[in-house]
Amino acid sequence: MTFDTRLFATLVLLGLAATTLPGQTQANAPTSPRPPAASSFHDSRLGISFQVPAGWNLNRKDGEVSTFSLDARTAPRSSQMRALASIAFNPFPETTFSGAFFYFSQTPHSLPADCNREATLHSPEAIPPSTIDGVPFTHGYDEHGGVCTEARDDIYTTQRNGACYRFDLIINTFCGGDAGAGARDISTQQLDSVHRRLQAILATVHFDKKQ
């Protein structure tokens, strides 16, 4: 009887595939990571806080998830990103949706007119002012992209304690031609749904009373 090396190698591989580590069963197969839990942001120096819902990441350093200067085009170079909440999942994976970001930043030594201009520089039409936790904010928006609109930014600014406080509510997409087979343009209703998620974070903004 001859020894078939190919058959032997196949049997060995099958045996290795069936082997489990001590204490491990097939029921312990790797699972998807759990979504981030709800969290809170508080900046005691600037006297401001907001709530981050479950399924969103909270970052305090620029560049870890995205780049503030590229997303918030009207923010001056002296602006300092203080917090970023970013959606950790894609609610519409079959579309061209690519991300949602909630930024809080501050520009020190900012004049009221300069602070207002940050929000309205690219706004083609006037938007009524908004009030956040009793504080009046200038409201504007910015859109940009190449072949299609790839970034939508709702901007809120207010001059407070000699600085410009700013919130950016950003939705990013990519053009349908770059999406690959099966992807379709995100609909207006879906964009509105993501925007409502961002607005829900904005609604939790609270200013410390001592400020």
* Percent residues over pLDDT 90 in the chain: 64
Q: Which of 186, 211, 208, 205 is nearest to 50 (CA)?
A: 205
The answer to whether residue 26 is domain-embedded is no
Query: Where does the pLDDT of residue 175 fall: very low under 50, low under 70, confident under 90, or very high at 90 and above?
Result: confident
Residue 119 lies in a domain: yes
**Distance, CA of 137 to CA of 131 (rounded, Å):** 6
| Spatial separation of the C-alpha atoms in residues 55 and 95, rounded to whole Å | 19
| 105, part of any domain | yes
Mean of pLDDT values over 1-28: 43
125-170 pLDDT, tens digit each: 778 999 999 999 999 999 988 778 889 999 999 999 999 999 999 9
**Per-residue pLDDT, 62:** 87
Mean pLDDT of the residues in the chain:
84
Q: Is the pLDDT of residue 33 over 80?
A: no
Q: 48 in a domain, yes or no? A: yes
Question: pLDDT tens for residues 97-112?
Answer: 999 999 999 999 999 9
The predicted model scores a pTM of 0.80
Helix (H) or strand (E) holding 68: helix 68-71
Does some domain include residue 11? Answer: no
- Highest mean pLDDT of the ranges 18-22, 58-62, 82-86, 178-182: 82-86
pLDDT band (50, 70, 90) for residue 58: very high
In a domain, 117, yes or no: yes
Q: Using CA atoms, how far apart are residues 189 and 54, in angstroms rounded to an integer?
A: 22
- The reply to whether 24 falls in a domain is no
- CATH number for the domain spanning 62: value is 2.60.120.1690
Residues of the chain with pLDDT > 70, as a percent, come to 81
Q: Which of 19-23, 110-114, 176-180 has the weakest average pLDDT?
A: 19-23
Residues 6+ apart with CB under 8 A from 74: 117, 118, 119, 121, 122, 142, 155
56 is in which domain, residue-wise?
36-207
Q: Is the pLDDT of residue 19 over 50?
A: no
Give the count of domains, the chain: 1
In a domain, 6, yes or no: no
Is a pLDDT exceeding 60 seen at residue 118?
A: yes
Phi, psi of 32, rounded to the nearest 5 degrees: -65, 145
